[in-house]
Chains A and B, each alone.
Chain A
Amino acid sequence: MSEPSATNAPAATDSHGHEPGHEHHGSLFAHARPYIIVGVMLFVFTVITVGLSYFDFAEYAIFQKLFGVIGVKGMGINILIGMIVATFKVCLVGWYFMHLKQEGSSIWRPLFFTFFFCLALFLLFLLGYADPIPTTSHPLH
Chain B
Amino acid sequence: MEIPYTVRPRPDTGLTNPKLGIWLFLASEVMLFGGLFAGYIFMRLGAEPWAWPHGWLNVPVGTFNTFILIFSSVTIILSWEALKMHKYKQYKMWLAATWICGLAFLGVKLGVEWPEKFHHFGAYVQKDSLHHYERYLGNEDQIALDGKPVLRPDGQPELGRISRNLSERRFIGGHLADSNSMKQASIPYVPPATLDAVIQSIKDKQDALARDEAKLKEFPAKGGTAEQDKARADLEKSISIARKTVASMKIRVEDRLGMTPADQEVLLARDQTPEKSAEARKAFLTKINTIHLHKLDAPNASPYDPDNDKAHFIPRPQVEVHDGVELNKAYLNPNFGALLPRLNTYLASYFMITGLHGAHVLGGCIVFIYFWLNIKGGSKLYHTNHQQLCNRIEVAGLFWHLVDLVWIFVFPIFYLL
Q: Which residues on A are within 8 Å of B, measured CB to CB?
A: 1-2, 4-5, 7-11, 14-16, 18, 20-24, 26, 28, 31-32, 35-36, 38-39, 42-43, 46, 49-50, 53-54, 75, 78-79, 82-83, 85-86, 89-90, 93-94, 97-98, 104, 106-107, 110-111, 113-114, 117-118, 121-122, 124-126, 128-129, 140-141
A129 to chain B, nearest CB (A): 5
The CA-CA distance from A118 to B406 in the complex, in Å, is 14
Task: Closest B residue to A128 by CB, please name it.
Answer: B42
B409 at the interface (CB under 8 A from A): yes
Among candidates B82, B84, B87, residue contacting A14 with C-beta atoms closer than 8 Å = B84
Q: Which residues of A contact B78 (CB under 8 A)?
A: 28, 32, 35
Task: Closest A residue to B406 by CB, please name it.
Answer: A90
Interface of A: prevailing SS: helix
The CA-CA distance from A61 to B147 in the complex, in Å, is 40
Q: If A8-B5, A28-B78, A82-B412 touch, does A125 touch B39 (CB 8 Å cutoff)?
A: yes
Q: Which residues of B contact A106 (CB under 8 A)?
A: 13-15, 20
Q: Which residues of B contact A110 (CB under 8 A)?
A: 23-24, 27
Q: If A43-B70, A111-B23 touch, does A22 touch B86 (CB 8 Å cutoff)?
A: yes
The CA-CA distance from A110 to B13 in the complex, in Å, is 12
The CA-CA distance from A106 to B409 in the complex, in Å, is 26
Task: Closest B residue to A22 by CB, please name it.
Answer: B86
Q: If A5-B2, A28-B82 touch, does A54 touch B77 (CB 8 Å cutoff)?
A: no
The CA-CA distance from A45 to B405 in the complex, in Å, is 13
Task: Closest B residue to A15 by CB, please name it.
Answer: B84
Q: Which residues of A contact B226 (CB under 8 A)?
A: none
What are 7 A-B pairs with beta-carbon distances under 8 A? A2-B2, A4-B7, A10-B385, A46-B411, A75-B417, A110-B23, A117-B34
B397 to chain A, nearest CB (A): 8
The CA-CA distance from A31 to B46 in the complex, in Å, is 49
The CA-CA distance from A107 to B404 in the complex, in Å, is 20
What is the total number of residues of chain B having a CB less than 8 Å from a CB of chain A?
63
Q: Which residues on B are within 8 Å of A, measured CB to CB?
A: 2, 4-8, 10, 13-15, 20, 23-24, 27, 30-31, 34-35, 38-39, 41-42, 45-46, 48, 59, 63, 66-67, 70-71, 73-74, 77-78, 81-82, 84-87, 90, 310-311, 313, 384-388, 390, 397-398, 401, 404-405, 408-409, 411-413, 416-417
Top-9 shortest CB links A-B: A53-B416, A39-B74, A118-B34, A125-B42, A114-B27, A24-B85, A11-B387, A82-B412, A20-B386
| Cross-chain contact B412 with A24 (CB below 8 angstroms) | no
Q: Which residues of B contact A14 (CB under 8 A)?
A: 84, 386-387, 390
| Cross-chain contact A49 with B416 (CB below 8 angstroms) | yes
| Cross-chain contact A129 with B74 (CB below 8 angstroms) | no
Q: If A93-B73, A110-B23 touch, does A140 touch B46 (CB 8 Å cutoff)?
A: yes
